[in-house]
Amino acid sequence: MKLISWNVNGIRACVKKGFLEYFQETGADIFCLQETKLQAGQIELELEGYHQYWNYAERKGYSGTAVFTKIPPISVKYGIGLNEKQEEGRSLTLEFDSFYLVNVYTINSKRDLSRLPERLMWEEELKQHLIELDKMKPVVLCGDLNVAHQEVDLKNARSNHGNSGFTIEERQKMTDLLQAGFIDSFRYVYPDRTDAYSWWSYMSKVREKNIGWRIDYFIVSERLKDVIKDADIHPEVMGSDHCPVSLELNMCI
Q: In 229-251, which positions are buried (b, 16+ CB within 10 angstroms) versus exposed (e)? A: eebbbebebebbbbbbbbbbbee
Look up 192 and say whether it is catalytic: no
- Whole-angstrom distance, CA of residue 25 vs CA of residue 211: 27
What phi and psi, each to the nearest 5 degrees, are found at residue 44?
Answer: -130, 105
User: Cα dist. 207→19, 69, 186, 210, 213 in Å?
Assistant: 19, 30, 20, 5, 10
Q: What are phi and psi of 167, to 5 degrees?
A: -80, 160
Residue type present at position 5: S
Give me Rg for the CA atoms of the chain.
17
90-128: b (≥16 Cβ within 10 Å) or e: bbbbbbbeebbbbbbbbbbbeeeeeebeebbebbebbbe
Is residue 202 annotated as a catalytic residue, yes or no?
A: no
If residue 219 lies in a helix (H) or strand (E), which one and from where to where? strand 216-221
Q: At 182, is the secondary structure helix, strand, or coil? A: strand
Count Cβ atoms below 10 Å from residue 43 Cβ, excluding itself: 12
Q: Which of 22, 29, 50, 144 is catalytic?
A: 144
Residue among 22, 53, 100, 105 flagged as catalytic: 105
Catalytic residues: 105, 144
